[in-house]
Amino acid sequence: MRTQVVIIGAGPAGLLLSQLLQIEGIESVILEKHERAYLEARIRAGVLEPRTVDLLRRAGVGDRMDREGLPHGGFCFSFDRGQFRIDLQELTGGGHMMVYGQSEVTKDLIAAIIARGGNLVFGADQVRPADLQSDRPTVTYVKNGITHRIECDFVAGCDGYHGVARSCIPVDVLKIFERSYPFGWLGILADVPPCHDEIIYANHERGFALASMRSRTRSRYYIQCGIDERVEQWSDNQIWDELALRLGPLTGGRMVRGPVLEKSIAPLRSFVAEPMSYGRLFLAGDAAHIVPPTGAKGLNLASADVYYLSRALTVFYRSGDMAELGGYSARALSRVWKAERFSWWITALTHRFAEQDEFARKLQLAELDYLRGSRAAQAAVAENYVGLALE
């Protein structure tokens, strides 16, 4: 089989890349080891930057998002001196976020690709890219016990942190930057109305809490927990009680309790792999970088990667010029590191660290108090939160 671009991984990055390439008349094949039902059921983040929203509309998958998504013109910080709002629209000249679950983005993209007759292979096992330094790379995979081989021009590694794509870059070429945080997030999903119209980041002496939502009737909450804790240690009532305490009396008093649909603990870490390209292989999304969920940058960074990569591939197929592809890694990494910085900063501002003494705690509170009263500081936060401009 022959195609122009083989995309490894059918998460949002790989699916969106295929959809954008198709609009430009560029053929692709997507190889995904899991089945469709698994991909569409995964619970992931769902706070989209304006540029991600625009990119989904451009890809032809924005209709349901526009009907069902929740536009947010701001978000709140809460701490022991009260609660204050970051007005994203006023501070950035109109920017706002869209709350729309990543699983819904995945469903929309899969449906669009199947509807147009795109080549999306579920259950592709033992995926192996080869000849990446040549102008005719190949990718083999096994499905139902049969080995298949695809010849292509380029390979896009959109297969996540544990995927095969990044491992194809030689160890003497690839450089890893990583930081693990000494805590996790205990998250719950519940079919109850949100306690607030917008997202709340809470800094409490007992640890961080986040109040978010997936719809007007479904809420998503998180609390900071120990890295070694297990969900079995937390009853539903204990979680609701802790949320009420950390979110404070005003927000906690508005919180509606109900049965927990999903409960999990996720570790927090920062991770960047450089470079994001090797020969005819290009990494995008979690295959190349991971950010803490604080600040909602993961999916949005992946969409930015896809924007840069789809643009570079389009230039190549129109003109034969490899310059855009040659600059892809540096361009994407410039944005990645700025998002890593912002995610690290907001995590450090809102969480309790094991080594944190009273001096460090006072500095945290002073910074939040300064942020509450400084328009300039709020503007910098808002600029980063809605997402920096795409070059």
Distance from the first to the final alpha carbon of the chain: 35
Q: What DSSP string runs through 189-246?
A: EESS--SSSS-EEEEETTEEEEEEESSSS-EEEEEEEETT--GGG--HHHHHHHHHHH
> Chain centroid to CA 203: how far?
22
The residues, ordered by sequence, that sit 6+ positions from 30 with a Cβ below 8 Å of its Cβ are 7, 8, 9, 10, 14, 15, 18, 113, 118, 119, 120, 121
The residues, ordered by sequence, that sit 6+ positions from 225 with a Cβ below 8 Å of its Cβ are 183, 184, 185, 186, 207, 234, 265
Q: Are 124 and 31 in contact (CB under 8 A)?
A: yes
Residue 145 falls in which region: left (phi positive, over 0), alpha (psi -120 to 50) or beta: left
The helix/strand/coil state of 113 is: helix
Which element (helix H / strand E) includes 187? strand 175-190
As annotated, the active-site residues are 72, 201, 293, 297, 385
Q: Are 277 and 325 in contact (CB under 8 A)?
A: yes
The span from the CA of 96 to the CA of 241, in Å, is 31
Backbone φ and ψ of 122, nearest 5°: -90, 155
Beta strands (DSSP E) in 252-326 are: 260-274, 277-278, 281-283, 289-290
The span from the CA of 165 to the CA of 13, in Å, is 14
The span from the CA of 102 to the CA of 179, in Å, is 25
